[in-house]
Structure 1
Amino acid sequence: MSDRTALIIGGGVVGMTTALMLQRRGWTVTLVEAEENPRAASWGNAGHIATEQAEPIASPKMVRGFAGRLFCRGGALALPPREIGTWLPFALRLLGAARADRYARAHTALAALLAEAMPAWRRHVAALDTPGLLREDGHVVLWETPESAACGLAGWQAADTGTARFRALTEAELAQWQSRIASPIAGGIRFEGSGQIADPTQLADIARTRFLADGGTLLTGRVAAIGDGEVRLTDDRRLSAREIVVTAGVASATLLRPFGLKAPIIAERGYHLQTGPQVDWPADLPPVVFEDRSMIVTRFAGGLRAASIVEFARAKARPDPAKWNRLRHHIAALGLPIGEDAKPWMGARPTLPDYLPAIGRVPGVRGVSYAFGHNHLGLTLAPITGELVAGMLEGDATAVSLTPFGLERFS
């Protein structure tokens, strides 16, 4: 066995980016993906590089506003009664993580990680020789009533937005947005320092092509067990490598349980609707958040996408058509050019109760590590996570301390 062989379990954006980072350091990498054509949240997200989200969602502020965010009250937070056995234990842990002392520690850790996110993305697209994939044009937040505009602006002014900054939209900018939106626009802000991926599907294709061209091995299969330097698939194939990295999203918890690690993860399911590429929406418009509706709309090369909903449920539970209907209601009210022919999608964000990712080594076991649980920030944090994992495997000092992200915090 070569001293520089790695096996990555999970081919989402974090797994694939980690594989590419290791290849650039001279590792021979095999990547195991559970599905031939994965539809993970990695490729169905809003494409937003969210450097402004330096405050973990598990916070005292979130707890105070919990009731107003519920889906049954017009919000985006869905707690299906039939899934109470799944979300109630998670919700109780989330409340514990939102205590002031734990939140303060998580806030410090997440802000440090996000500060490295955009520089890591620049390095990544440069290495892929695709600078056009990353658009550093910020994003816009709009409000539809004077009350929500005043409240929303005050909230952002009091928030830690990390390396991102914002300013109020000018009257001319507000008029331009109003010309495209049927609902009244009462106010808005323009962020700088955030960005977007031009098209997540294109990113996936480019990353896969580069991985294979650089000698990577891509296998389709489901992992049954991880041992000392070996992985056994459900079809009894056995794979060996010096380093095994678990980047399997929600499935990671089950794979790591035999090592005595607790990962109280949940599938935080999101929904979107997307048109085809021929749509009356300028390609150069940045992502726009309709904060009153908890919905983000992004123009990709492949079409216009409206995304929303935070649904706590089992990853394999059936999608709820009511969530897409809510999106259609918002789209119609705003007059967005997303018609009935828009394709629906649902995917599961892997989320831990403190809204920090899990990045670290399995203690007491040779050559097994993990990187998963990035919740809403998987795309944002993929390149910096890949760099951190590569540094960790080589014993280098990392740009960000990994101590806050170890699963030992749940012991």
Structure 2
Amino acid sequence: MKNRCSSSGETGLVIGGGLVGLCTALQLQRCGLSATVLEPQEKPQGASWGNAGHIAVEQVQPLASPAMIAGALARLYPRGALGLPLRQIGSWGPFALKLLRASTPARFSAGTAALSALLAQAMPAWQRMCALSGTAHLLRQDGHFVAWESEASAAKGRAHWLSTDIGTASVRDATPEELSAIRALAPNGTIAGAVRFVGSGQMTDLGALANALRQALVAGGGTIRHAKVDSIEIDGGTAHAIIGGERLTADHVVLSAGAASAELLRPMGLRIPLIAERGYHIQSPDSRWPVDMPPVAFEDRSIIVTRFAGGLRAASFIEFSARTAPPDSGKWRKLRDHVAALGLPFDGPDHEWIGARPTLPDYLPAIGRSTRAPNLLYAFGHQHLGMTLAAATGEAIAALATGRPPGIDLAPFDPARFGDTT
């Protein structure tokens, strides 16, 4: 891809080697910067790699909404997928109050407009990133299905999706052939109806994607250093990353450490209201799920099932908790119960995963520049949309770093919305 934003000689230090961090580092490198990624794990296991692989361009409405608040009680675990562990009320209680304040009709409307503009860039940005990294074969632009197990829920769900704002995506009723295919994959269920989204997509192999992005960065002269950043400090208006007794800085320091981002800012007195919104999945190494079947969300059960190159994955749950809290094994059991009840083709023993989505109270990411250190850029807080928005965020951060217009208005995502000291 032609370099159209040369900033030769400048340096970029990206804290976090998830999808947002890697895409950002590659975009900085494309603009002529010398890019280094700091990532503590040699094989990261965070939300970037445990998600459903779904490029969810249809999710333009923030989850911080009047409808979400109204229906929260009905969705509480174990009946539903919303986990609010009592032992973690110290973590989610203050966050819940901020979420309530962010869920007014006016803020929901403004958030929808902001997310719509950003999500409109998601698929084109992934197309460009895949061309840059040689991963076009991993990107499937084949939509996805949402299915229901009762006539009542199918009628209600269908009416919702056919009437709601879904951005650049479109939705239609599943054809009889498509409905038969879903029923064949869930023979124990009573699939009453389904819709198919057009315009969304999927990454078919997250492991291959991770390797390709890392290899492209290194091949272009970038560096991946496996080291844990202890904190970010600001001295004389310049941000530094602290690793043990070592102090690192660069022309542009990008914080994209996911759910750990707020912890890195805390030593310098910043209180970003970020919470770990934890999700769970189980994955079977073998499956009879057809390779050409897009992801299917079984909405009555709040699970999404995706076929990857490495097997079949069922993912679910919104659990507000401390990032390092022990997992709730009951949620994996609940996932297995859903799989068995539907009769999904999970073959062989499954693998369990838990990961933390970085979520801010208004369900908008933090993308922007620090008011305290001009060299500090923020790229975190993508909640359920980290996979979806990674490439677009990388392009936006590279534009900020090189003084170019980012293509959309980033003011709604400015972290200064949480206070003027960020």
Structure 1 residue 351 corresponds to structure 2 residue 356:
no
Q: Distance in 2 between matches of 1:300 and 1:88?
A: 36
Name the CA shift for 1:135/1:377 in 2 (closer, same or farther; >3 Å): same
1:95-134 map, 5 Å: 95-134=100-139
Structure 1 residue 71 corresponds to structure 2 residue 80:
no
2:3 is aligned to: none
Match of residue 264, structure 2, among 231, 246, 255: 255
Q: Distance in 1 between matches of 2:105 and 2:271?
A: 23
Q: Distance in 2 between matches of 1:203 and 1:172?
A: 32
Structure 1 residue 243 corresponds to structure 2 residue 249:
no
Contact kept in structure 2, 1:261 and 1:408, CA below 8 Å: no
2:149 is aligned to: 144
Matched AA of 2:123: M
| 3-state DSSP of counterpart to 2:287 | coil
- The Cα shift of 1:258 comes to 5.1
- The Cα shift of 1:172 comes to 2.4
Match of residue 401, structure 2, among 375, 393, 404: 393
Out of 343-352 and 214-223, give the one that drifted further.
214-223
Task: Calculate the TM-score normalised by the size of structure 1.
Answer: 0.96
Match of residue 288, structure 1, among 296, 308, 319: 296
The list of structure 1 runs, each at least 4 consecutive aligned residues, that deviate by more than 4 angstroms after superposition, is 258-261
Out of 43-52 and 127-136, give the one that drifted further.
127-136
1:175 is aligned to: 180
1:81 is aligned to: 86
Matched AA of 2:380: F
- The Cα shift of 1:38 comes to 1.4
Q: Distance in 2 between matches of 1:176 and 1:14?
A: 34
| 3-state DSSP of counterpart to 1:227 | strand
Structure 1 unaligned residues grouped into runs of 5+: none
The Cα offsets for residues 63-87 of structure 1, whole Å up to 9 and x where unpaired, read as 1111111113x21001111101111
Match of residue 198, structure 2, among 192, 196, 199: 192
1:314 is aligned to: 322
Match of residue 61, structure 1, among 57, 67, 78: 67
Contact kept in structure 2, 1:262 and 1:407, CA below 8 Å: no
| 3-state DSSP of counterpart to 1:151 | helix
| 3-state DSSP of counterpart to 1:191 | strand
Q: Distance in 2 between matches of 1:339 and 1:79?
A: 32
- The Cα shift of 1:169 comes to 1.0
Name the CA shift for 1:233/1:36 in 2 (closer, same or farther; >3 Å): farther
Q: Distance in 1 between matches of 2:221 and 2:9?
A: 16
Matched AA of 1:353: P
Out of 314-323 and 229-238, give the one that drifted further.
229-238
1:214 is aligned to: 220
CA RMSD of aligned residues (A): 1.4
Q: Distance in 1 between matches of 2:45 and 2:177?
A: 39
2:164 is aligned to: 159
- The Cα shift of 1:37 comes to 2.1
Match of residue 226, structure 1, among 229, 233, 238: 233
Instruction: Report the number of matched residues.
Output: 408
Match of residue 376, structure 1, among 371, 384, 393: 384
